[in-house]
């Protein structure tokens, strides 16, 4: 399959402006209301000020969680009672919460196009506006002399992801030859994580980008918009800049990933993350040249092992012939190049994030495998 290498360069100002405008257009509406002002009308509608507003299932679940009804319990209530009684129960819970704390507020996040609530945020969590996000990213890019490599917007949720690199942030992996990387940061703004800054690395040999999310020391998260949170955000960012944007545990994890075989579970998840970005017209064999899942399964089957019968623990214990590092590079390569699949920018960056999460995984499934004189020993 033909692949066109995407050079590590800044996106054009025109494209940046176009994406920024798309981000501003997709910015959801935030409305802070008192819990006591709301009333559940049915399982996907709330009443506010005499108006009925539709909610997504996700938003409804978030609201129920805030009033002390977790999703599982809410489902049980739904199974036991008819809708009227369920709604009645939820409204009584809402009333109890509102009475216990009369000033308690929540923020409704509304998709402008659908005129629908797509998220509900607790009082202590705020979503920064797309404008505020873009302004701040602009400042960091200027101060850190970064270049913007990627910019993606999710039109439905308003989520934004921007990947940047520091042209002077070249680093290698200790003890490993031919592994040069460039450090940078990835910025994202979403209802789930708020304003999140994570290290971003780009492997120079094939310009594979990876969003390294999950190293506790490096992730900078701002879910509140106040002076203290912002100070904390900037101070942590300065620390990351000082380190040349290199993730703090990069060498150690890279070395482990290079020397750990991937489990069948890790390989399957990588395959599925790519498949998810492709749509229904493609099959696992189409991405064989990136992640060799099909070939691996064939080998298991040829050895008389039925992988279909594996439970999740067995999937994690099934060793493959590919290292975790190669799996990560396969995903990042797929995510960073135009492979003819027409994957949109947002999905590509989700893949880079998946790869980063796999990289930052605390323990790879096969990481602690040791040699043993009993490897071929058969139990009675």
Partner 1 sequence: MAEDNRKRNRSARGKKKSRKEIDVATELTQPNRIVKMKNVEFDPIIFQPMKTGKAIDNILDQDGGVPRASNYIVIGDPGIGKSTVTLDIISDLAETGHKVLFISGEMNRIDLYKYVQRYPKFGDIDILFMNEHLDENPKLVIETQLKEGYDIVLGDSFVEIQDTVKEALFMTSTATEKWIIDLMISNNMGNNNAKKYTTFLMIQQVTKGGNFVGSNKLKHNTTGMMEMRWTKSGEAYLEMNKNRRGPVNKRLYFKLDNPNDVFYDTGRFLMEENNRQMLNSEADELKAESDDFETMFAETGTNKFIDDVVTNSAEDEMEQHEQNLENQDTVKEPIAE
Of residues 28-87, those binding partner 1 (CB under 8 A):
29-32, 39, 41-42, 45, 47-54, 83-85, 87
Q: Between residues 84 and 312, which has the closer beta carbon with respect to partner 1?
A: 84
Specify the stretch interacting with partner 1 by CB under 8 A; choose among 1-9, 25-33, 150-158, 169-177. Answer: 25-33
DSSP string, 126-169: ----HHHHHHHHHHHHHHHT-EEEEEEE-TTT--EEEEEEEEEE
Report helix, strand or coil for 218. coil
Distance spanning both ends of the chain, measured CA to CA: 48
Among positions 57, 101, 131, 340, the unique one binding partner 1 when judged by CB under 8 A: 131
Among residue numbers 224 through 243, which ones bind partner 1 (CB under 8 A)? 225-227, 230-231, 234
Q: Which of residues 311-370 bind partner 1 (CB under 8 A)?
A: none
Please report how the helices 264-278 and 345-360 are oriented relative to each other, as an axis angle in degrees rounded to 10: 170
User: How many chain residues bind partner 1 (CB under 8 A)?
Assistant: 40
Q: Which stretch binds partner 1 (CB under 8 A): 200-208, 223-231, 311-319, 336-344?
A: 223-231
Q: How far is the CB of 149 from partner 1 (least distance, A)?
A: 25
Cβ proximity to partner 1: between 57 and 295 the closer is 57
By CB under 8 A, residue 94 contacts partner 1: no
Buried b (16+ CB within 10 A) or exposed e, 127-159: bbbbeebbebbeebbeebebbbbbbbbbeebbb
Q: What is the C-alpha to C-alpha distance for residues 171 and 176, in angstroms, rounded to an integer? A: 12
Q: Which two tokens stand for residue 20?
A: 């920024």
The answer to whether 137 and 160 are in contact (CB under 8 A) is: no
Of the pair 39, 272, the CB lying nearest partner 1 is at 39
The least CB distance from residue 377 to partner 1, in Å, is 60
Nearer to partner 1, 231 or 298 (CB): 231
Least Cα distance to 357 among 251, 263, 257, 255 occurs for: 257
Residue 88 binding partner 1, by CB under 8 A: yes
Closest CA to 364 of 245, 270, 291, 225: 270
What CA–CA distance (Å, rounded) separates 305 from 309?
Answer: 9
Question: Given the complex with partner 1, which of 144 and 356 has the nearer CB atom?
Answer: 144
**In whole angstroms, how large is the CA radius of gyration of the chain?**
24
Give the nearest distance from C-beta 42 to partner 1 in angstroms.
5
Residue 122 in contact with partner 1, rule: CB under 8 A: no
Binding segment for partner 1 (CB under 8 A), chosen from 126-134, 176-184, 279-287, 355-363, is 126-134
Residues of span 138-197 touching partner 1 by CB under 8 A: 139
Structure tokens at 355: 């790869």
Assess contact for 161 and 188: CB atoms under 8 A. yes
The nearer residue to partner 1, 19 or 54, going by C-beta atoms, is 54
Q: How far is the CB of 247 from partner 1 (least distance, A)?
A: 24
Which lies closer to partner 1 via its Cβ, residue 193 or residue 345? Answer: 193
Give CA–CA dist 110/121, Å, rounded: 11
Give the three-class secondary structure for 244.
coil
| Binding positions for partner 1, rule: CB under 8 A | 29-32, 39, 41-42, 45, 47-54, 83-85, 87-88, 91-92, 108, 110, 112, 115, 128-129, 131-132, 135-136, 139, 225-227, 230-231, 234
């Amino acid at each position: 399959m033909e692949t066109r290498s995407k050079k590590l360069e800044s996106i054009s100002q025109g494209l940046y402006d176009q994406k920024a405008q798309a981000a501003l257009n997709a910015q959801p509406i935030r409305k802070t209301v008192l819990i006591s002002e709301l009333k559940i009308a049915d399982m996907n509608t709330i009443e506010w000020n005499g108006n009925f507003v539709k909610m997504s299932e996700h938003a409804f679940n978030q609201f129920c969680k805030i009033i002390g009804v977790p999703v599982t319990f809410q489902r049980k209530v739904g199974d036991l009672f008819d809708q009227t009684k369920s709604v009645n129960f939820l409204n009584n819970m809402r009333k109890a919460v509102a009475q216990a704390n009369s000033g308690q507020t929540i923020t409704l996040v509304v998709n402008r196009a659908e005129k629908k609530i797509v998220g509900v945020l607790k009082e202590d969590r705020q979503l920064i506006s797309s404008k505020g996000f873009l302004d701040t990213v602009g400042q960091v890019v200027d101060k850190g002399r970064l270049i913007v490599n990627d910019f993606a917007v999710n039109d439905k949720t308003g989520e934004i992801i921007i990947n940047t690199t520091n042209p002077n942030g070249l680093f290698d992996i200790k003890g490993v030859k031919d592994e040069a990387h460039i450090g940078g940061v990835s910025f994202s703004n979403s209802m789930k994580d708020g304003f999140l800054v994570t290290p971003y690395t780009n492997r120079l040999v094939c310009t594979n980008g990876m969003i390294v999310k999950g190293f506790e020391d490096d992730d900078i998260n701002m879910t509140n918009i106040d002076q203290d949170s912002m100070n904390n955000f900037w101070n942590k960012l300065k620390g990351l800049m000082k380190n040349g944007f290199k993730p703090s545990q990069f060498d150690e994890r890279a070395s482990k990933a290079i020397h750990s075989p991937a489990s069948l579970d890790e390989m399957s998840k990588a395959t599925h993350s790519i498949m998810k970005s492709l749509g229904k017209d493609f099959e696992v064999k189409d991405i064989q040249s990136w992640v060799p899942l099909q070939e691996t399964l064939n080998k298991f089957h040829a050895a008389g092992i039925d992988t279909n019968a594996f439970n999740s623990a067995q999937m994690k214990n099934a060793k493959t012939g590919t290292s975790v590092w190669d799996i990560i590079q396969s995903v990042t390569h797929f995510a960073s190049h135009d492979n003819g699949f027409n994957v949109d920018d947002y999905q590509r960056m989700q893949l880079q994030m998946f790869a980063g999460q796999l990289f930052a995984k605390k323990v790879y499934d096969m990481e602690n495998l040791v040699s043993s004189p009993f490897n071929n020993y058969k139990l009675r």
